[in-house]
Amino acid sequence: MKVEPLLFVDSCVHCGWEQALGCAAERSPGEARGTHAAVKNEDTFKTSPFHLDLWFYFTLQNWVLDFGRPIAMIILPLEWFPLNKPSAGDYFHMAYNVITPFLLLKLIERSPKTLPRSMVYVSIIMFVMGASIHLVGDSVNHRLIFSGYQHHLSVRENPIIKNLKPETLIDSFELLYYYDEYLGHSMWYIPFFLILFIYFTGCFTPVEEESRMPVPALLLMGPSSLYYWYLVTEGQIFILYIFTFFAMMALVMHQKRKGLVLDSNGLFLFYSFIVTLILIAVWVVWLWNDKILRKKYPGVIYIPEPWAFYTLHMNNLHAAKESL
């Protein structure tokens, strides 16, 4: 007995999925492939305007909550934040640990391309965990400045540390330094740059006219690049940064062969990384002959930390002025 296709579909009018199957069955393979390709192309080649609000908030909170936290800790009166309590910088760090992953998620949401969500979520979780580990270690290490701790020296070479008794206490301070400078930085910065790179993969367009940066992007590029310079030098993550930058360059050349160019958001991120590399080179050349910093940062890659430079030179300058 032959069943007419229309009668079959009508009998299943209350079953939406069967209707969808019926429609798909009646569609030719060529039509189905054409529809899939159209959806794929639409997802790949959608473009978005420059995210002025997100990039502005991102740069502002980086400067205030990350770069500004040790400055706030030093400037604000010690009576307000006793040494056995969280400092102003710690509260800045707590705010940073909440606001930054939120802004990164909003940035991913605005990508014109569908990005791997699972990788983004895992990266955000690792970012928050690493930044939280760093919060504790960095809080104690910066509070030690008030007791005479010198960041340009290693833990065991510091005058206030090397005479501790029993000597096992020195091991505890080295463990704290490890959580702060190594484990915390790795779990913080690796997901951070990974998320930026994942977002960067969606910043390509076939339209040449959209590969331009507006004036607000040009104005933001300076502060953004300067912050990345601080992030790379203070965090001692030059290897991670340069690998991310090389991956960006490789992706740009690969997409160029396909006729795709960076949109305004991609250009902003890419040019910010280029300016950052120039700033790092200037910083290294300036301190190339500093024997004390050379001792603390041995090896092929010599990139001193700004706070080590401060405790070595600027702190001494302040002390000299006060003695006058």
Is the per-residue pLDDT at 82 higher than 90?
no
**Coil/strand/helix, residue 261:** strand
Q: Say which range, 122-126, 147-151, 316-320, has the weakest mean pLDDT.
A: 316-320
Q: What is the mean pLDDT of the chain?
A: 82
Phi first, then psi, for residue 85 (nearest 5°) are: -125, 160
Burial 176-205 (b: 16+ CB within 10 A, else e): bbebbbeebbbbbbbbbbbbbbbbbbbbbb
Q: Give the separation between CA 216 and CA 55, rounded to whole angstroms.
A: 10
Mean pLDDT, rounded, for 133-151: 83
What pLDDT sits at residue 273?
97
Structure tokens at 57: 């908030």
Domain ranges of the chain: 52-312
Q: Say which range, 136-150, 295-309, 310-324, has the weakest mean pLDDT.
A: 310-324
**Residue 146: pLDDT band by 50, 70, 90 thresholds?**
confident
- Long-range contacts, stretch 112-116, CB < 8 angstroms, 24+ apart: 112/45, 112/46, 112/47, 112/48, 112/202, 112/203, 112/205, 112/263, 113/43, 113/44, 113/46, 113/201, 113/202, 114/43, 115/198, 115/199, 115/201, 115/202, 116/198
pLDDT tens-digit map of 235-282 = 889 999 999 999 999 999 999 999 999 999 999 999 999 999 999 999
Q: Give the separation between CA 321 and CA 300, rounded to whole angstroms.
A: 36
Is the per-residue pLDDT at 169 higher than 80?
yes
Q: Say which range, 82-86, 163-167, 198-202, 216-220, has the weakest mean pLDDT.
A: 163-167
Mean pLDDT, rounded, for 291-295: 86
**Coil/strand/helix, residue 268:** helix
Q: How distant is the alpha carbon of residue 133 from its chain centre?
A: 16
* Residue whose pair of structure tokens reads 């001193």 in the numeric block: 304
Number of alpha helices (DSSP H) and beta strands (DSSP E) in the chain: 16, 2
Burial class (CB in 10 A: 0-12, 13-18, 19+), 12: middle
SS3 content of the chain, % helix, strand, coil (to 5): 75, 0, 25
Is the per-residue pLDDT at 48 higher than 80?
no
Is the per-residue pLDDT at 7 higher than 70?
no
Whether the upstream peptide bond of residue 166 has omega within 30° of 0, thus cis, is: yes
What pLDDT sits at residue 45?
53
- The separation between the first and the last C-alpha atoms of the chain, rounded to the nearest angstrom, is 109
What is each CA distance from 87 to 9, 76, 115, 144, in whole angstroms? 69, 9, 38, 12
Q: How distant is the alpha carbon of residue 19 from its chain centre?
A: 47
Q: Give the separation between CA 262 and CA 241, rounded to whole angstroms.
A: 20
Mean pLDDT, rounded, for 195-210: 90
Cβ count within 10 A of residue 100: 21
